[in-house]
Structure 1
Amino acid sequence: MDKNITSRDGTPLAYESAGRGSTIVLVSGAMSTGATVAPLAAPLSERFRVVVYDRRGRGASGDTPPYAVEREVEDLAALIEAVGGEAALYGVSSGGALALRAAAGGLPVRQVAVYETPYAMSGEHLEERARYTERLTAALAEGRRGDAVELFLRLTGLGEAVIQGARQSSMWAGMESMAQSLAHDDAVMGDGGVPRELLSSIGVPVLSIAGDASPAWMREAARAIAESVPRGTYRTLGGQTHMVEPDVLAPVLAEFFRA
């Protein structure tokens, strides 16, 4: 990241941009940084000015306590102001929930696209999310960063053998360094359910996308978002999972953002 701004509460935020044209800000999900969405920025920058940034608590950005979701919305407000005063937003996974909150909060956002924002679609899933929140909060309070990462990986559906293999990998130290930000994403997701009242207040066009190879509940959640906003559209991408391929997603986003 080659540029820095300061958010309203004094937190430094790192970002970079590429391309020319109307601005799109890419919002990453849990356990990720701006670098994670950079492969998507490359094809989009052929037609747009694309901005990627490190959300607070990760990468080269700071993390001023105490955390509140409103601070992350203020981060986006400061970033949008710095890059021209208006932008479209794309958010992946829990980053989609943040993008939707920003649009509902009245930021100068012209369009929002989200990919597989993982809202719970059943009572059982909501209970699982509540247990995750409780255990994550305890693990982070006790400094058990590795356990916090394990909790998140289990929530995503990874098996124990894969998780224990990850613990032995060279990537684990980096994952543990970002463990505290898991609480940020958990807060952004609220109670885990679809926030229909909040979504109903969004006045700009919203494109909600899912991969047709992802679990059915992911597609249901994406459809629920589109149905809850006044100007929502739902779309699936053939053969895609939660780890969507940038070259498949980019043309769909470009078509939406050109409109």
Structure 2
Amino acid sequence: MKHVTSADGTLIAMHEDGAGPTVVIVNGALSTARDAAEIARAFAEAGLRAITYDRRARGDSGDGAVAAPEREVEDLAAVIAASGAGAAVIGHSSGAVLAQFAAGHGLPMSHLFLSEPPFRFGEDMPAADLEDRLQAAVDDGHSEGAVVLFQREAVGLPEPFIEQFRASPAFAQIAPLGRSTIYDALVTRRASTPSTEMREVRMPVTSLCGVETMPILVTAASRLAEMMPDAEYLQVPESVGHRMDPEATARIVVARVAG
């Protein structure tokens, strides 16, 4: 692990695995670089140099005073700069929204892979005050409450699933990530409908969608393909339940960045 410094001075932790063409992996909500270790290893075994990093307010990375999507764009810019020229980027879930948002801001990427980005296109949006309530929960020291609120209102998980998850050992691992939910809520609201700059990015784009995933993600993948007719759209049968299959995803990525 090493740290790079973002534009506002925040330290961002990044990890490297393998050798070959570079691919930066941008995680989704309530996850850290550790959660991408399996896919990074699959990329490395396929002949790629995989870079994972802790998005700010997670893991070994720091955080700024005020949450904003632009700060996360700057973080990704710092990681790409430290990774060397010609890096491809793959984002999953809200990480895919962030990756495309960053590409629309002009970040250099050789190829952009979007895995099940939760674009809502302005429809069925979370309550307008969600980010304020997440911030209030964090300010009051209720990180767990922010996580539950995010799962309930931003993700739309059913209450029985949330309660079951709260009772599991896994919940203790993500409970400290309450502050990070503000960033995910902000970027998915700001980029609910991809802007002209996001739709007209200049690098090759591959949109990926698995099976047995949330309906909102299937709809988003279809509508994004309509809005970006030059983008490649692939269904990945091996990716089930809003999870990137490491080996299948590695085969897709290596064929496009190392072929």
Q: Identify whether the pair has TM-score above 0.5, normalized to the shorter chain.
A: yes
CA distance, structure 2, for counterparts of residue 224 and residue 137 of structure 1: 31
Counterpart contact for 2:105–2:197, Cα < 8 Å = no
SS in 1 for 2:56: coil
In the other structure, the counterpart of 1:148 is 146
CA distance, structure 1, for counterparts of residue 241 and residue 171 of structure 2: 23
Q: CA deviation at 1:131?
A: 6.0
Once the two structures are superposed, the pairs formed by residues 159-238 of structure 1 within 5 Å of their partners are 159-191=158-190, 193-229=192-228, 231-238=230-237
SS in 2 for 1:161: helix
Q: CA deviation at 1:35?
A: 1.0
Counterpart contact for 1:194–1:224, Cα < 8 Å = no
Counterpart contact for 2:122–2:193, Cα < 8 Å = no
Q: Which has the higher contact order (CA 8 A, sep 6+)?
A: 2
Distance change (3 Å), C-alpha of 1:35 and 1:129: farther
Two-structure CA RMSD over aligned residues (Å):
2.1
CA distance, structure 2, for counterparts of residue 215 and residue 171 of structure 1: 21
SS in 1 for 2:13: strand
Unaligned runs of 5+ in 2: none
Report sequence identity in percent. Answer: 36
1:181-201 CA distance string (max 9 Å, x none): 000111111346322423223
CA distance, structure 2, for counterparts of residue 214 and residue 166 of structure 1: 18
Counterpart of 1:250 in structure 2: which amino acid?
A: A
In the other structure, the counterpart of 1:51 is 51
Counterpart contact for 2:28–2:96, Cα < 8 Å = yes
Once the two structures are superposed, the pairs formed by residues 1-259 of structure 1 within 5 Å of their partners are 2-46=1-45, 47-121=47-121, 123=123, 125-126=124-125, 128=126, 130=128, 132-133=130-131, 135-154=133-152, 155-191=154-190, 193-229=192-228, 231-238=230-237, 240-259=240-259
1:58-100 CA distance string (max 9 Å, x none): 0001112122211111111111111213310000000001111
CA distance, structure 1, for counterparts of residue 69 and residue 155 of structure 2: 22
CA distance, structure 2, for counterparts of residue 207 and residue 99 of structure 1: 12
Counterpart contact for 1:204–1:231, Cα < 8 Å = no
CA distance, structure 2, for counterparts of residue 139 and residue 167 of structure 1: 17
SS in 2 for 1:114: strand
CA distance, structure 2, for counterparts of residue 258 and residue 194 of structure 1: 31
SS in 2 for 1:5: strand
Question: TM-score scaled by structure 1?
Answer: 0.89
Counterpart of 2:181 in structure 1: which amino acid?
A: L
Counterpart of 1:143 in structure 2: which amino acid?
A: G
SS in 2 for 1:193: coil
Q: CA deviation at 1:134?
A: 5.2
Q: CA deviation at 1:176?
A: 2.1
1:118-171 CA distance string (max 9 Å, x none): 111573x22x35464454344334433222111222243433233223323333
SS in 2 for 1:236: strand
CA distance, structure 1, for counterparts of residue 77 and residue 20 of structure 2: 19
Counterpart of 1:244 in structure 2: which amino acid?
A: M
CA distance, structure 1, for counterparts of residue 190 and residue 17 of structure 2: 36
Question: TM-score scaled by structure 2?
Answer: 0.89
CA distance, structure 2, for counterparts of residue 215 and residue 162 of structure 1: 14
Counterpart of 2:215 in structure 1: which amino acid?
A: A
Q: CA deviation at 1:230?
A: 5.9
